[in-house]
A and B are shown apart, each in its own frame.
Chain A
Amino acid sequence: QQQVKQSPQSLIVQKGGISIINCAYENTAFDYFPWYQQFPGKGPALLIAIRPDVSEKKEGRFTISFNKSAKQFSLHIMDSQPGDSATYFCAASLEGYSGGGADGLTFGKGTHLIIQP
């Protein structure tokens, strides 16, 4: 059972445009939603994350929009640049367990983003 569904699988955007990637989750107990960026041959790198007590979080050109009732969240990349070309993963987890540690992440399948110069 795929608990986090991500779309689109691939996306081509012109330089300067807005890239939008969407995710939907099923487990209403999830309360931590990060986005990761991965370049070929590298490990995923944390980009930005949100918790469900806010509907939007912005860091530089990257914005997460969160809709708790629809169980959906999205990543917007403003003024997209060729250096943003990478694979992006959404993920979800419980914030932590009773023992005080973090919980494992459930990832979407990824979006391969290409920014054309």
Chain B
Amino acid sequence: GESVGLHLPTLSVQEGDNSIINCAYSNSASDYFIWYKQESGKGPQFIIDIRSNMDKRQGQRVTVLLNKTVKHLSLQIAATQPGDSAVYFCAEIFSGTSYGKLTFGQGTILTVHP
């Protein structure tokens, strides 16, 4: 299940289950969004992106959904594997700033149990 509190939200799933990680973004002018995966001791790794003119985008085992009405982003991971265990960050960008300043969400810890 998922829990939110003073610490990072956590999501625990069994191997093979589908995972859904949620993110609320803050700026209604943001027009580009990225999901990153960060494993322990490593830098963030780009997973998938989506522009605000899209509602859904699919990659390999991952799908990102965007609901601009409620400023909500989700990352779905199909057939979750132990190697998917990591912290997942969403990030929003207003592309009018060409230097691509990212505003990160607080992150969600995903733990996949074999």
Physical interaction between A and B: no
Interface residues of B (CB under 8 A from A): none
